[in-house]
Amino acid sequence: MKIKIEVPETLSDITLDQYQRYLKAIDGEHTEDFIKQKTIEVFCNIDFKNLATIEVSSLNRIYNKINNLFNDNYGLITTFKLKGKEYGFIPDLSAMTLGEFIDLDTTISDWESMHKSMGVLFRPIKQKINKKYLIEDYEGYSKNLLKEIPLDVALGAFGFFWTLSNELMINTQNYLAKQMDNPTSQQVQDLQSAGVGFNQFTQWQKEMSSNLITLQS
C-alpha cells in the first residue's frame, strides 16, 4: 500500500499546535527510533501505524529533512495571515497594558501555553497603511488562541523576547553596579535578590530553548 506523505518544506508549514503535540509526545525517556517516528507522525500528519509500511531509508530521509528545518535562525515576523485574516505583532511594547503584561508573563514560560502568549502578542490588524498598522484591542487571550500560528512566527517572537530579556538583564545589572561604587552589605543583598528574578527568567528561557534543539540531537 502506497502512502502519500506531505513533508513540510519550511517552518511556516508547521503549526505551533503540532510542535506542542510533538513536545508532549517525546516528553520523558525514549529511543531514537521512537523520536524519529513521532517527528514524522506529527509534522507530516500521518498515522503512527502507517509508518511501519514505509522503508527505513525513506523515514530517515524525511526525518533529516524535518530536522534541518530547525537549524535556521528565527527572526521576528511582525505580520502573518491565518485563515484569511491578517495578524500583527504589538506595535509598541512600551504601551502594553497591565492585563497584557500579566497574561504574557504567566503563559510564555511554558510551551503548553505558548499559544496563549501568541494571543497576547499577535492580534488581528484593523487598519494598515503600508508597513504601519493598528491591531485590535486586547480582550484576553481566550479570544484569540493561536494554536494554528505558523511555527516560524512563534519561534521568532520567542527568540525576540529571549534576546530582549538578556539585554535587559545585562543593562540593568551594569547600571546598578555603576550606581554603587561602595555598596553596603544591604545593597549587595538587594542586588542579589533582584538578580534572582533575572536569573530565573533566563533559566526558563534556556529550558525552553533546549526544547527547540531536541530535533537536532
66-100 pLDDT per residue, tens: 999 988 777 899 999 999 999 999 998 888 898 99
Query: 55-59, 78-82, 101-105, 181-185 — which one is most confidently predicted on average?
Result: 78-82
Residue range 193-201: mean pLDDT, rounded:
42
The pLDDT mean for the chain works out to 81
Q: Is residue 154 within 8 Å of residue 16, measured between CB atoms? A: yes
Which are the contacts of 169, defined by CB distance < 8 A and separation ≥ 6?
198, 201, 202
Tell whether the model's pLDDT for residue 215 goes beyond 70. no
| Amino acid at residue number 213 | I
Task: Say what the pLDDT of residue 65 is.
Answer: 95
In three-state secondary structure terms, 80 is strand
Task: Say what the pLDDT of residue 160 is.
Answer: 86
Task: Say what the pLDDT of residue 116 is.
Answer: 93
pLDDT one-digit tens code per residue, 129-165:
988 999 999 998 877 789 999 999 999 998 887 777 6
- What band does 198 get if pLDDT is binned at 50, 70 and 90? very low
Tell whether the model's pLDDT for residue 108 goes beyond 60. yes
More confident position, 124 or 2:
124
| Cell representation of residue 110 | 511554558
Task: Say what the pLDDT of residue 196 is.
Answer: 39
CA angle at 127 for the pair 97 and 147, rounded to the nearest 5°:
65
Task: Say what the pLDDT of residue 186 is.
Answer: 57
pTM value?
Answer: 0.77
Task: Say what the pLDDT of residue 127 is.
Answer: 94
- What band does 194 get if pLDDT is binned at 50, 70 and 90? very low
- What band does 172 get if pLDDT is binned at 50, 70 and 90? low
In three-state secondary structure terms, 162 is helix
The span from the CA of 87 to the CA of 96, in Å, is 17
Tell whether the model's pLDDT for residue 125 goes beyond 80. yes
